[in-house]
Chains A and B, each alone.
Chain A
Amino acid sequence: MTTVRVQAGPLDPGAELNAFLKDTPHAGGIAVFVGQMRDFKGADRGTGERVSAMTLEHYPGMAERELGVLVEEAKQRWRLDNVCVIHRTGELLPSDPIVFVAAASAHRADALEACTFLIDWLKTKAPFWKKETTTQGPHWVDAARADDIRAARWEKPAN
């Protein structure tokens, strides 16, 4: 079972998790990642510029397709009963959820690893782009080197 969705409307991680649990009654372990919009720019919460809003652009068609490819790759690598990836687009405000990733398996290890893999590869492969509005005006978010390093850890297929 898999769900892949790109949506312009609000994302409710609680409701999505409840639906996911209902669909996966026989899994022993469910891992979830929720990414939400920060109100500061860059890595430093204390000194970063304030971010008041964000626009998420995507490549319609390829975004869904690429998320599907990632989910299939995760299912090849780990034993998963259910996988769900939902990504927002459009206008967001601080604390709005951006992405919801859930992976269910018989045991926790597969679920946790698959969930980490999915968000790590999503960050460097899925065609979405963030534009932040700060006190200095709007700007496109730069890709982070740390994300490339995390994604590269998964380049070799798992055993």
Chain B
Amino acid sequence: MAIHVLYFASVKEKVGLGEEHVSPPASVATVSDLMDWLAARSPKYASAFANRATIKSAVDQTHVPLSTALGEAREVAFFPPVTGG
């Protein structure tokens, strides 16, 4: 399962890149699982996802809670709370 993962704002700065394609194992079933799997990759990812309560996510460009199943998701984004307007 290849997923296009995007990072924005402070999450992007901590991870050190804006987007990538990843192929997590089948055990990664939810957005939260994906976050755990990414956080285990390196200290940079760990720091980006350290404060879980402040991370928001979107699946295929729609806001979702972290508990959401990945299902057929093609694009998953992680970012801090939005501050536009």
Asked whether any CB of chain A lies closer than 8 Å to the CB of B74, the reply is no
CB pair A140–B84 under 8 Å, yes or no, is no
Q: How many A-B residue pairs have CB under 8 A?
A: 72
Q: Which A residues touch B63, using CB under 8 A?
A: 66, 125
- CA distance in complex: A21, B63 (Å): 33
Asked whether any CB of chain B lies closer than 8 Å to the CB of A38, the reply is no
CB pair B81–A59 under 8 Å, yes or no, is no
CB pair B85–A127 under 8 Å, yes or no, is no
Q: Which of B1-41 contact A (CB under 8 A)?
A: 6, 8-10, 12
Report the interface size for chain A: residues with CB under 8 A from the other chain.
27
Q: Which A residues touch B77, using CB under 8 A?
A: 59, 62, 127
Asked whether any CB of chain A lies closer than 8 Å to the CB of B83, the reply is yes
Asked whether any CB of chain B lies closer than 8 Å to the CB of A65, the reply is yes
